[in-house]
């Protein structure tokens, strides 16, 4: 085999190994059957999220493993419920704290599905962001195997807010929509004011953000109306020109007809 052919063969072999490794990693993964997680939550309120896991033993060597979980919620309670193939609950465990481990998943116990539920208080916002919206991790699950190795199963995040930040965000959304509707008009001033409003929001100056967003929306609406008015004037002027041409043409035709009559 020539060096060139050997190089090509080596590359193909390496790609095959990577592909097989990827499939192997997927084969040992746990599937998320369903989840019930809120999209957003207010700071200081109590919320609950639940996730159901299935296909717990895809790989033959994983006849048993340990489930672990983490959350940014506060005053946390976890519930891990175990179900058999008929859907009957066969066991249940409870854990406290932002982290838990030690939930044993084993074929010998007849466990076919596991439902993990977490309840706690929504934490304070550490850093505000309009886009993307600030979030916290409400639930994150890991699969820990014998020997200490661990795989991430999945993680869920939730947008959290206060009354003040939510009100400012609503105004920002309204201003952004107004600027988008004014597409084609001169919205430079509105866009600059909107950017200033976003900076105020990110800096937790929600009253200022709200006021600037209102200004940006007003400016965008005025720019849109001005653009529409200009278009109407252009259309009107064009219409008058057409009418003038028609009338002028008609008068010219009449004058020509009069000339022919006199000649006759």
CA distance 214 to 222: 12
pLDDT value for 75: 98
| pLDDT > 90: percent of the chain | 64
DSSP lists the bridge partners of residue 232 as none
The whole-chain average pLDDT of the chain stands at: 83
pLDDT band at 184 (very low <50, low <70, confident <90, very high): confident
**Are the CB atoms for 65 and 144 separated by under 8 Å?**
yes
pLDDT tens string 130-181: 999 999 999 999 998 876 678 899 999 999 999 999 999 999 999 999 999 9
Sign of the alpha-carbon torsion through 42, 46, 52, 56: positive
How deeply is 244 buried, as exposed, middle or buried, from its count of CB atoms within 10 A (0-12, 13-18, 19+)?
exposed
Over 90: is that where the pLDDT of 1 sits? Answer: no
pLDDT band at 55 (very low <50, low <70, confident <90, very high): very high
Confidence class for position 66, pLDDT limits 50, 70, 90: very high
CATH top class, domain 31-161: mainly beta
Whole-model pTM over 0.85: no
**pLDDT at 27 (0 to 100):** 40
Which whole number is the average pLDDT over 25-54?
88
Mean pLDDT of 59-68: 80
Mean pLDDT of 58-66: 76
Please tell me the total number of residues recorded for the chain in this structure. 264
């Amino acid at each position: 085999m020539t060096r060139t052919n050997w190089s090509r063969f080596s590359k193909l072999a390496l790609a095959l190994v990577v592909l097989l490794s990827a499939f192997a990693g997927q084969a040992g993964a746990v599937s998320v059957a369903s989840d019930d997680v809120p999209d957003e939550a207010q700071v200081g309120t109590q919320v609950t999220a639940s996730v159901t896991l299935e296909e717990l033993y895809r790989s033959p060597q994983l006849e048993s493993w340990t489930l672990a979980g983490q959350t940014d919620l506060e005053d946390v309670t976890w519930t891990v419920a175990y179900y058999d193939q008929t859907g009957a609950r066969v066991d249940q465990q409870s854990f406290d704290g932002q982290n838990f481990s030690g939930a044993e998943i084993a074929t010998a116990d007849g466990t076919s599905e596991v439902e993990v539920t977490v309840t706690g208080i929504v934490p304070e916002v550490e850093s505000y962001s309009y886009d993307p919206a600030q979030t916290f991790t409400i639930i994150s699950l890991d699969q820990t195997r014998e020997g200490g190795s661990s795989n991430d199963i999945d993680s869920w995040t939730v947008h959290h807010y206060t009354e003040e930040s939510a009100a400012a965000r609503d105004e920002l959304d309204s201003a952004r929509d107004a600027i988008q509707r004014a597409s084609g008009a001169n919205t430079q001033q509105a866009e600059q004011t909107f950017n200033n409003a976003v900076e105020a929001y990110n800096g937790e100056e929600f009253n200022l953000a709200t006021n600037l967003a209102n200004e940006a929306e007003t400016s965008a609406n005025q720019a849109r109306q001005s653009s529409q008015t200009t278009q109407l004037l252009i259309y009107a002027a064009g219409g008058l020109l057409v009418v003038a041409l028609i009338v002028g043409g008609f008068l010219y035709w009449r004058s020509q007809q009069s000339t022919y009559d006199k000649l006759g």
